[in-house]
Amino acid sequence: MPSRKPTFRAWLPALLLALAVASAVFFAEALSSPAYAQEQMIRPWNLFDLFLPRRERYYEPPPVQRVPVPHHQPKPKARAAKKSPGTKATAVPHEPEVAAVEKARDAKVVLVVGDFLGSGLAEGLSAVYAQNPKVRVIDRSKGSSGFVRDEHFDWGKEIGPLIEAEKPAAVVVMLGSNDRQRMRVGATSETLRTDNWTKEYTRRTDEMAKAIAARNVPFVWVGMPAFRLSKMTADMLAFNDIYRAASEGAGGEFVDVWDGFVDENGAFVTMGPNVNGQPERLRAEDGINFTKAGKRKLAFYAEKPLRKMLGVAAEPGEALAPGVFAPAPGADKAKPVDRTPPVSLSDPALDGGGELLGAQAQTRQAPRSPNEKLMKQGIAPDRQPGRADDFAAPAGSPTPAAGAPAPVPPPAAGR
């Protein structure tokens, strides 16, 4: 039987199998090379690259060396403020530190009670009276206290023993920043600022104010300031109305500090004028607490009514109250103050006296000015010819006879 030559159709499967194996090996090497990976970032792959591979060379970037970063990195130093040549850096003015003097044995005691804001107020008052040996500030505040959690600390019952133990000349109250929570009234837990909640809160506030007044001690109730949260600010406004009614109803004085910590639109501010009128940070980052300047400003509001209650004069380091004249250092008593005598309604003279204000008035024997002659003696000044008040007849005109009718003026022209 004659042999048959293999046809192309018989060799086709083997040829396709060999071509497929070769292309697979080439394709795997191409994909694994860095040049191919770099190329794919530049131009996407297509079917022609399988049979016609690219011949151009590719740049392989050097491997990136990773530097280990420590877990606790030091904080970057603050950059120094750039200034133009020829200018000097200006520092923000701060109130200097005041060293406290030794208090006298008979120094009057100011008792400060309240929460953590009341503690800041006590710190500000201590700075105010640091150089006054006649006033001592005692802080008996409880940072987490309030009127709502009376099981933690009941101010209505505790304020009486505190006053009897410290024997203060005046009491300062700042309380309420912890009271934005539910309150248990009997067996019911009442929601904040509902009718039952407000009624019980008012009762507890009145109880504390009356307990202070029952000891015959004057007191100042400092109101709540604004806070960063709008809901908290709205609650503080409602609380201040209750505090004002309770303190004034018991004979105390309510001090409103709201305007000192808001802008002209009534919104909360972090920066504001300090007691010296200089812009300074008054509130902390949390929008609740006060900075040192803010505590001093709180004390500024309570200082005026306290000085009236204590009845003490200001020291040289303090601001003088109106009408108080403190003696100079080393002097036994105050020097007499030269005051300008009051000005009478008839002094200076109607003709415009040339004497300075406060000069010694000289006694006049006789009136000298025309106005004095007219007002005091009834003597009219001499007439001046041609002036509006000269009613004399012109020289050379005939004198009318007695009883003769007055001459009739001629009619005006054009009539």
Name the residue ranges covered by the structural domains of the chain: 14-51, 108-310
For domain 108-310, the question of CATH label 3.30.360.10 is answered with no
For residue 115, CA distances in Å to 19, 56, 127, 128, 277 come to 89, 79, 19, 20, 28
Structure tokens at 270: 């972090």
Would you call the peptide bond into 63 cis, given omega within 30 degrees of 0 as the criterion? no
**How many CB atoms neighbour CB 410 within 10 A?**
6
| pLDDT of amino acid 321 | 38
pLDDT at 90: 44
* CA angle, 42 then 45 then 47, to 5°: 155
Q: Which residues have a Cβ under 8 Å from the Cβ of 274 and sit 6 or more positions away?
A: 95, 280, 282, 293, 296, 297
Consecutive 10-residue averages of pLDDT for the chain (415 residues): 59 75 62 47 56 53 55 49 45 61 94 96 95 95 95 94 96 96 94 96 97 96 96 96 97 96 94 94 95 96 93 55 40 50 54 53 59 76 74 66 60 54
- Cα–Cα distances in Å, from 170 out to 234, 299, 305? 30, 14, 10
Contact 140, 212 (CB under 8 A): no
Strands 219-222 and 253-255: parallel
Contacts 24+ apart (CB under 8 A), 39-44: none
Give whole-number Cα distances, 244 to 205, 206, 250, in Å: 10, 10, 10
Task: Compute CA distances 252 → 112, 113, 171, 212, 328, whole Å.
Answer: 14, 15, 10, 9, 34
Q: Who's near 111: CB < 8 A, 6+ residues apart? A: 138, 140, 162, 163, 166, 168, 170, 171, 172
Burial (0-12, 13-18, 19+ Cβ within 10 Å), 105: exposed
Provide the token pair at 68. Answer: 């280990």
CA 118, CA 115: separation in Å to the nearest integer? 5
Q: How far apart are CA 373 and CA 350, in angstroms?
A: 11
Distance CA 284, CA 261 (A): 12
Q: What is the pLDDT of residue 34?
A: 46
CB 313 within 8 A of CB 326: yes
- CA dist 37 and 30 (Å) reads 9
127, 315 Cβ separation under 8 angstroms: no
Specify whether the CB–CB gap between 140 and 314 falls below 8 A. no
